[in-house]
């Protein structure tokens, strides 16, 4: 087996290890393998969440003193170069005597990047881009948030085939069937925060929790975020959420996302009704669309989206459909803008 094949094999194992880490939170999921001179695996490690040792340090801790000298570190993300709750991984690798670092994707963070250059300057051999495509797909949302300084935003709605989110009297429970609703809860559990407007809280009194088919709470619970200036009743269900809700007036969505990013929120699920969904779309802050279509017709004016700033056909927001699925009688459409929203608020 060639050396490059050894690195690919080890990188694939490192990606498997990274999957053991928490899917949400401020830090990326990272895995690391330490290889000896003959390509044998000396140690493995992964990152278990904010405040815990990073993958490289976790792997190094499993070796005796001096056990990593002259070894190769294979890591899914470029070793970090900043001091946060832990010291820079680039320094830990240097101190351990690692002679080569192989990584999949570069760290896009303004404050955390530069580890590879630091190691190279100290005489460590560097090889990047090994299984980059697989690692990029694995870290997609985190890489996006790290590069833009704001969370990745998914806008979700459920509608009839004629695009209505509610009947003429405002009732909307339930347009979609149980399979689609359970899929929503599963995806909520994978997000860091769920955003609604005060209008939704006042009209529907949602709990904004992620629940299983029996109504029990799933292990992952997104932080509820309520936007708007209207007061909500003291007995609102959102106030009993397992996570303390956050409140913003919502006048500047970019600033809200910047604030959430500073709090360690990397993935946001917007589920707040037509007014809020339209505001995110109009502002160019929707990175993904999660649309559940039910085989029914409602008519009337309760559209899933309102004005998004499109006056003529030339201004239409073209999307790429990335996924289609059948959920019971309903259809799930996942789409993303054809152009990434790099022009919007950055919080560096």
Active centre residues (catalytic): 56
273 is in an annotated binding site: yes
Query: Is 188 a known ligand-binding residue?
Result: yes
Is 80 annotated as a binding-site member?
yes
Q: Is 162 annotated in some ligand binding site?
A: no
278 is in an annotated binding site: yes
Q: Is 240 assigned a ligand-binding role in the annotation?
A: no
Q: Is 167 annotated as a binding residue?
A: no
Neighbour order of strands in the sheet with 246-248: 246-248, 223-227, 193-197, 267-270, 152-160, 288-294, 330-337, 319-327
Kindly report whether the peptide bond that precedes residue 145 is cis, defined as omega within 30 degrees of 0. Answer: no
- Strand ordering across the sheet containing 72-77: 41-46, 31-35, 72-77, 100-105, 125-127
Whether 172 has a binding-site annotation, put simply, is: yes
The token pair at 256 is 């809200």
Q: Is 309 annotated as a binding residue?
A: no
Is 58 known to sit in a ligand binding site?
A: no
Q: Is 218 annotated as a binding residue?
A: no
Which long-range CB contacts under 8 A does 124-127 form with residues at least 24 apart? 124/93, 124/94, 124/98, 124/99, 124/100, 125/99, 125/100, 125/101, 126/100, 126/101, 127/7, 127/100, 127/101, 127/102, 127/103
Report how far residue 209's alpha carbon sits from residue 197's, in angstroms, rounded to the nearest whole number: 15
The answer to whether 276 is annotated as binding is yes
203 annotated as a binding-site residue: no
Q: Is 85 annotated as a binding residue?
A: no
Question: What are the φ and ψ backbone dihedral angles of 121, each rounded to 5 degrees?
Answer: -65, -25
Q: Which burial class, exposed, middle or buried, applies to 288 when counting CB atoms under 10 A from its CB (0-12, 13-18, 19+)?
A: buried
| CA–CA gap between residue 220 and residue 2 (Å, rounded) | 42
Residue 131 is labelled as binding a ligand: no
**13 three-class SS:** helix
d(CA 35, CA 6): 9
Task: Tell me which DSSP letter residue 303 carries.
Answer: B
229 annotated binding-site participant: yes
**Contact 15/133 with Cβ under 8 angstroms?**
no
Q: What residue numbers does the annotated binding site cover?
A: 54, 80, 89, 158, 172, 174, 188, 200, 204, 208, 211, 229, 271, 273-279
Residues annotated in a binding site for NADP(+): 158, 174, 200, 204, 229, 273-279
Tell me the binding residues for Zn(2+). Answer: 54, 80, 89
Which residues make up each annotated binding site for substrate? 172, 188, 208, 211, 271
């Amino acid at each position: 087996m060639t050396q490059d094949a050894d690195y690919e094999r080890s990188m694939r194992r490192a990606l498997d290890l990274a999957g053991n880490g928490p899917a949400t939170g401020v830090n990326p999921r990272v895995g690391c393998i330490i290889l000896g001179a003959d390509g044998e695996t000396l140690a493995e490690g992964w990152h278990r969440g904010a405040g815990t040792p990073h993958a490289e340090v976790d792997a190094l801790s499993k070796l005796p003193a001096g056990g990593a000298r002259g070894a190769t570190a294979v890591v899914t993300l470029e070793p970090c170069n900043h001091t946060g709750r832990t010291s820079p991984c680039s320094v830990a690798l240097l101190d351990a005597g690692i002679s080569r670092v192989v990584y999949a994707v570069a760290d896009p963070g303004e404050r955390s990047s530069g580890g590879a250059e630091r190691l190279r300057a100290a005489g460590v051999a560097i090889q990047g881009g090994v299984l980059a495509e697989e690692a990029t797909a694995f870290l997609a949302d985190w890489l996006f948030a790290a590069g833009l300084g704001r969370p990745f935003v998914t806008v979700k709605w459920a509608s009839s085939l004629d695009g209505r989110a509610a009947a003429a009297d405002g009732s909307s429970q339930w347009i979609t069937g149980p399979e689609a609703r359970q899929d929503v809860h599963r995806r909520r559990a994978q997000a860091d925060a769920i955003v609604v407007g005060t209008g939704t809280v006042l009209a529907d009194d949602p709990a904004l929790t992620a629940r299983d088919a029996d109504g029990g709470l799933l292990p992952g619970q997104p932080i509820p975020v309520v936007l708007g200036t209207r007061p909500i009743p003291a007995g609102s269900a959102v106030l009993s959420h397992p996570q303390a809700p956050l409140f913003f007036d919502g006048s500047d969505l970019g600033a809200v996302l910047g604030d959430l990013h500073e709090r360690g929120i990397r993935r946001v699920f917007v589920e707040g009704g037509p007014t809020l969904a339209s505001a995110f779309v109009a502002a160019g802050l929707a990175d993904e669309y999660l649309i559940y279509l039910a085989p029914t017709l409602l008519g009337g004016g309760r559209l899933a989206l309102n004005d998004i700033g499109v006056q003529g056909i030339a201004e239409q927001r073209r999307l790429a459909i990335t996924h289609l699925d059948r959920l019971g009688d309903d259809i799930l459409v996942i789409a993303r803008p054809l152009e990434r929203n790099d022009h919007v608020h950055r919080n560096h």
